[in-house]
Amino acid sequence: MLTVESGGILSVGSNQISSDTIYSYTGVTVADDGRLRLARPQGLFDNTNNPVLRKSGNMNYFLGANSIVEYNTNTYGFVSGINVGVASLAQHKYGILEINHVGPSNTWVSPTYLPTFTNAVYVRTQLRITAGEFNLCDAPGNPGSAGRYVFIENASPTAIVRTGGYIRSEATNHSGRIIWTMSSVAGTYIVPFGYSNTDYIPLTYQLLSGNAGTVSFSTYHTPATNLPWPPGVTNLASNFGLSPDNRTATVDRFWRISGTGTTNVYNLNFSYVASELPGIPFNTPNYMWASAYSTTTNAWQPLTFGQTSSPYQVNVPLATRNIHWALAAGTSYLPLEWGSIAAEPSRKDVKIKWTTLSEKNTDFFTVFKSINNSDFIEIGSVAASGNSNELKHYSLLDLDAYAENSYYRVKETDFNGDEFWSDVVYYKSQILKNELDAWFDATNSSLQIRLPELSSGIISIYDLTGRLLFEKNTVNESSLLLPIDLPRNSIYLLRFLSEEGSYSTKF
């Protein structure tokens, strides 16, 4: 048995380790903190005589949970996986896998998928991206398929670290994926995607609470046509008057984020390449917004509240669990007809709030209510803006409806009589048994907040443009005194998100 002890380094380069013995303990052990550095293009082991560890002589190997296998390749290479030959146990999964590819910029190292797709790469402790391109597709450009999976089994946010280099996904069927088991470990998870050695586009998943389960991540670049659409996406619809669809106002990239968790609360941060901006006049880099696609309605969802945009990045707080995401210009959201709609308590009433993303010849809005999601009655109307290319906010109070479970929807009527309906929103009163309240304490320039009940969650304060001003985690608290200085002549939105429900109020 050849053993690389803790602190030891075995640099085999492009050479091989082989044996002609038939004894059962023939093989190689890499102990915790030991390092096996290789440059052979065929990888570590694939049950043939081509990789570093040859199949002959009943060769076996053991990788400690904190052992390091470094791929120090200088030409195209494969990271071998498991479920092939003797490599079928936890000891054959990488402990720490380090990608330190030092080849030219037009070369890469790629996870294997041979001989079958189940022979994926598994990492128990940490994936280190040190240098070069870790290409999940083993192909240049944007291949239509043949992507590979890399499984990260450690739930720590530091289970992937980057000091240089990048992970390239880019398969247009989203088959090149990082699959990360996060469970209920809150923190900021960064997937270091990149498009080239000069275009770094990390995707950030910030788990706030709940159990995320296992989350998979992938992304790919498109031409200016935004084609092909991701599998399961049937349109890039635009109601802004753009033809043939919203492609002229959409960033040339799609993302896929899919998880097994059902209770997780998380934020997302998308990055993209400057050259992926849409054309004039939709090319302002700090005016892009994220939209998710619903495979249930086959429609791009309204803009979620509180998003922030900076050059080549968009942050989405409290993201929805939709799988497919795109970014579009602020003057041409996806979709462009309706924004968000919500129903929330307002003292003893219910406030129905909605936004529009663009308006053309709009006359007025009518709010309807139902207790069975079938028979809707009109409860009021609000004047519209007429024409607008900006985000507009509207609201209407349903008086004395605080204790009712109700459904609401809004109808927009144009000057020419055309009507357009919003989605239906459900108000469940028993979730919000108590009130959320906030007021300024004039004696010490602080903000007093009363929570609905003794609970833990996230407090967020926004201005009416949706800009996040303050955020704080609470643990088993019923009230807080926050020493924050806000202008008193403005109105703010306070949101409290806990496992018991979502609460909002203005102050």
Q: Determine what percent of the chain is predicted with pLDDT higher than 90.
A: 52
Q: Give the pLDDT confidence score for residue 336 in this predicted structure.
A: 38
d(CA 78, CA 138): 9
Look at residue 180 and tell me whether its pLDDT is greater than 60.
yes
pLDDT band with cut points at 50, 70 and 90 for residue 431: very low
Burial of 301 (0-12, 13-18, 19+ CB in 10 A): buried
Q: Give the pLDDT confidence score for residue 241 in this predicted structure.
A: 62
Report the 10 Å Cβ neighbour count for 215. 23
Cβ contacts of residue 366 below 8 Å, gap of 6+? Answer: 378, 380, 381, 410, 411, 413
d(CA 366, CA 360): 17
Q: Give the pLDDT confidence score for residue 399 in this predicted structure.
A: 76
Enter the tokens of residue 492: 């703010």
Choose the weakest-confidence range: 87-91, 143-147, 265-269. Answer: 143-147
Maximal C-alpha separation, the chain: 87
User: What class is the 341-430 domain?
Assistant: mainly beta
Residue with tokens 């992937």: 160
pLDDT in tens, 193-230: 999 999 999 999 999 999 999 999 999 999 999 999 99
Q: Give the pLDDT confidence score for residue 396 in this predicted structure.
A: 93
Look at residue 412 and tell me whether its pLDDT is greater than 60.
yes
Look at residue 101 and tell me whether its pLDDT is greater than 80.
yes
d(CA 500, CA 480): 18
Q: Give the pLDDT confidence score for residue 356 in this predicted structure.
A: 85
Q: How far apart are the first and last CA of the chain?
A: 71
Choose the weakest-confidence range: 150-154, 376-380, 480-484. Answer: 480-484
Q: Give the pLDDT confidence score for residue 140 in this predicted structure.
A: 87
Q: Give the pLDDT confidence score for residue 113 in this predicted structure.
A: 63
Q: Give the pLDDT confidence score for residue 403 in this predicted structure.
A: 52
Look at residue 458 and tell me whether its pLDDT is greater than 70.
yes
Enter the tokens of residue 291: 């939209």
| CATH 2.60.40.10, the chain: domain bounds | 341-430
Look at residue 334 and tell me whether its pLDDT is greater than 50.
no
| CATH 2.60.40.3080, the chain: domain bounds | 433-506
In the Cβ-directed half-sphere of 293, how many Cα atoms lie within 13 Å? 22
pLDDT band with cut points at 50, 70 and 90 for residue 1: confident
DSSP string covering 350-378: EEEEEEES-EESEEEEEEEEESSSSS-EE
Decide: 339 and 391 in contact? Cβ < 8 Å: yes
Cβ contacts of residue 79 below 8 Å, gap of 6+? Answer: 43, 44, 71, 97, 99, 109, 110, 111, 112, 121, 134
- Who has greater pLDDT, 188 or 504? 188
- What mean pLDDT value characterizes the chain? 87
d(CA 65, CA 140): 33
226: left (phi over 0), alpha (psi -120 to 50) or beta: left
CA distances from 460 to 14, 317, 437 (A): 54, 10, 13
Look at residue 127 and tell me whether its pLDDT is greater than 90.
yes
d(CA 147, CA 218): 10
Decide: 362 and 390 in contact? Cβ < 8 Å: no
**Closest listed residue to residue 428, CA positions, set 452, 464, 410, 403:** 403
Q: Give the pLDDT confidence score for residue 306 in this predicted structure.
A: 80
Look at residue 23 and tell me whether its pLDDT is greater than 70.
no
Q: Give the pLDDT confidence score for residue 187 in this predicted structure.
A: 97
Q: What share of the chain is helix, strand, coil (3-state, %, to 5)?
A: 5, 45, 50
CATH topology of domain 433-506: Immunoglobulin-like (2.60.40)
Give the number of residues written for the chain. Answer: 507
